[in-house]
Structure 1
């Protein structure tokens, strides 16, 4: 079965999600959702903005 070319894997590992949760004010689950929506590279930045807005 062929894989999609150019598609980035934006999933966070549990360890990565926990790190974002510890350094921001979101839960690990929210961190994973933000990574899916905005990309793995921007997840931490979006997590900081997520609670600042909410």
Structure 2
């Protein structure tokens, strides 16, 4: 089964830092969210955290 871009669960340190700068999660949390939910969904979850805070 090939990974599709929407199912990619890896993000680079640079991507994690970008997400962290735009939301209230740490780069580590951004990576954990991507691992758990996938890259796109993980970023959405990080933004939800910012909206809830």
TM-score w.r.t. the length of structure 1 is 0.76
CA contact (8 A) 2:16 2:27 kept: yes
Q: Which has the higher contact order (CA 8 A, sep 6+)?
A: 2
Range that drifts further, 43-52 or 21-30? 43-52
1:43: Cα distance to partner? 1.7
| Long gaps (5+) in structure 1 | none
Greater Rg over alpha carbons, structure? 1
C-alpha offsets along residues 1-28 of structure 1, whole Å, 9 cap, x if unaligned? xxxx224431110000000000001000
CA-based RMSD: 1.6
Aligned length: 49
Q: Show structure 1 runs of 4+ deviating over 6 A.
A: none
Kindly indicate which of the two structures has a greater share of residues assigned to helix: 2
* Stretches of structure 2 lacking an aligned partner (at least 5 in a row): none
